[in-house]
Amino acid sequence: MVKLSVIVPFHDVRQYAPDTLRSLRANAREDVEFILVDDCSRDGTADVLARAERELPGAVLVTHDRNEGLATARNTGIARARGEYLTFLDGDDWVAPGHYPQLLAAVEELGCDFVRTDHVQCTGRVRTVHRVPHGRRGVVTRPRDAILPADRSTSVDYAYAWAGVYHRRLADRGLLQFTDGLRTAEDRPWIWKLHREAESFAAVGLLGVFYRRGVASSLTQIGDVRQLDFIRAFDQVVEETARDPEADRLLPKAVRTYCAVMAHHLGAIERFEPAVARALRSRGAAALRRLPRDLLDDVLDSMDTRRASRLRRLRRRPVSSRTAAA
């Protein structure tokens, strides 16, 4: 019986994949499977994964004929997973030896739908610990109770799918699937759905995941049009949260987070290609007009002057009918 399925998408990470795979080997055991999804790599990653399929205990290799993006690659892995529990890792990150047995022990002891963990961010040689923004450790609670307050960082702002482990019943209910085709911010609708609809979760202080930040090929470092998928992702968060029975309570948080992320991208607009910067302004203006006016007013009034001014200027920007409908 497979106890844990570890889903690991790879795309053009030849430089880092060997480290990732070595860390998986240090976590191998009979009841753990590693689902390696090659999302149409062109840089030699496929050769590394073909060798891993032969040499890594529990490895299952799945390949895409075309590049589909991280969200779809994860969905491919979920569809192939056989484990009682599922977790994720990105193809340029790694885990500490024995991390997955510890993760399994934690979720089985707590008996909840999912567990969230801390992680270590690695930027060059610098290591920084990042904690789940949830104060109560090792205590099972309702996930929707961890969404608020709106004006503080909470568990839905810590959207890393790989920072946790999830019971199969969530996949059976469709709560682990990602929105196909999202190239960035794919974790945002996912974490909100999980917290709105799952029944129980807990945060624990495990520090076994090492997140490699600043990779040149990462979409977070690339200023092309794929970065604008955050608009589609947050449109989905707002739309789905608006249908929730507690929408009046939860929607202000969704709108506030959307505005904070948009203001962040506007503040770094010089890193985008010129055509993408124009698209960010036009699509961002249309997105602001789709938000509930009263909630948006409240959010802008509560934000710091610099970010609020960026968004107010964008809100006044003329929007074509074509862009507004996009």
Q: Which of 190, 223, 211, 222 is nearest to 74 (CA)?
A: 190
Tens-digit pLDDT profile for residues 263-319: 999 999 999 999 999 999 999 999 999 999 999 999 999 999 999 999 999 999 987
CB 113 within 8 A of CB 201: yes
**pLDDT-above-70 percentage for the chain:** 95
Mean pLDDT of 142-166: 97
What architecture (CATH level 2) is domain 4-219? Alpha-Beta Complex (3.90)
What pLDDT score was predicted for residue 215?
Answer: 61
**pTM over 0.85, yes/no:** yes
Considering all CA atoms of the chain, what is the largest pairwise distance in Å, rounded to the nearest integer?
Answer: 60
d(CA 24, CA 34): 8
Instruction: Return the pLDDT at 318.
Output: 86
Q: What's the rounded mean pLDDT across residues 85-102? A: 98
Residue 35 structure tokens: 């689902």
Digit-coded pLDDT (tens) for 47-71: 999 999 999 999 999 999 999 999 9
Crossing angle of helices 17-25 and 45-55, in 10° steps, is 10
Q: Is 280 helix (H, G, I), strand (E, B) or coil?
A: helix
The residue ranges of every structural domain in the chain are: 4-219, 223-325
The per-residue pLDDT for range 40-53, each reduced to its tens digit, is 999 999 999 999 99
Residue range 233-243: mean pLDDT, rounded: 98
pLDDT of residue 241: 98
